[in-house]
Amino acid sequence: MSTNTDANCIFCKVINGQIPSQKLSDDEHSIAISDLNPQAPVHILIMPKMHVASIAALDSPELTGHLFQKAKKLATELKLEKGFRIVVNTGDDGGQTVHHLHIHLLGGRAFGWPPG
């Protein structure tokens, strides 16, 4: 699997340690970190180590599956039995602000629908 990085990308800097983070998981293909500006009692970002801009730019079913399985595993470990929300903001209309693919795992409170 590619280990592409982008020197100007905030999350690539988190991955290579240039920007400090609170890591919950670190494996060959991904890391999970606490969000800097949490929107719920649990707010974790799961991201691939390789730089890929968004889910729209990711072609690998294996990496897609790995990231979602990781999110689910963390939800189990954090005992989010009452439920949780997984969000993948994509592109401008999707509200994506950091252009390195990441899954938001949110939990610890009830969420409304539809989203804003």
Tokens of 33: 């970190």
- Touching Zn ion, residues 13-32 (CB under 5 A): none
Catalytic, 104? Answer no
Residue 14 CB coordination number (10 Å)? 21
| Separation between Cα atoms, residue 100 and residue 56, nearest integer Å | 11
For ligand 5GP, the binding residue among 16, 27, 36, 57 (CB under 6 A) is: 36
Buried b (16+ CB within 10 A) or exposed e, 60-75: eeebbebbeebbeebb
For ligand 5GP, the binding residue among 28, 62, 97, 115 (CB under 6 A) is: 97
**Smallest distance, ligand 5GP to C-beta of residue 82, A:** 22
- Beta strands, E only, 2-82: 23-26, 30-34, 42-48
- Touching ligand 5GP, residues 41-60 (CB under 6 A): 45
Identify what 96 binds: ligand 5GP, Zn ion, none; CB under 5 to 8 Å per kind: ligand 5GP
Position 6 contacts Zn ion (CB under 5 A): yes
Task: Summarize as ranges the residues that interact with Zn ion (CB under 5 A).
Answer: 6, 9, 11-12, 51, 100
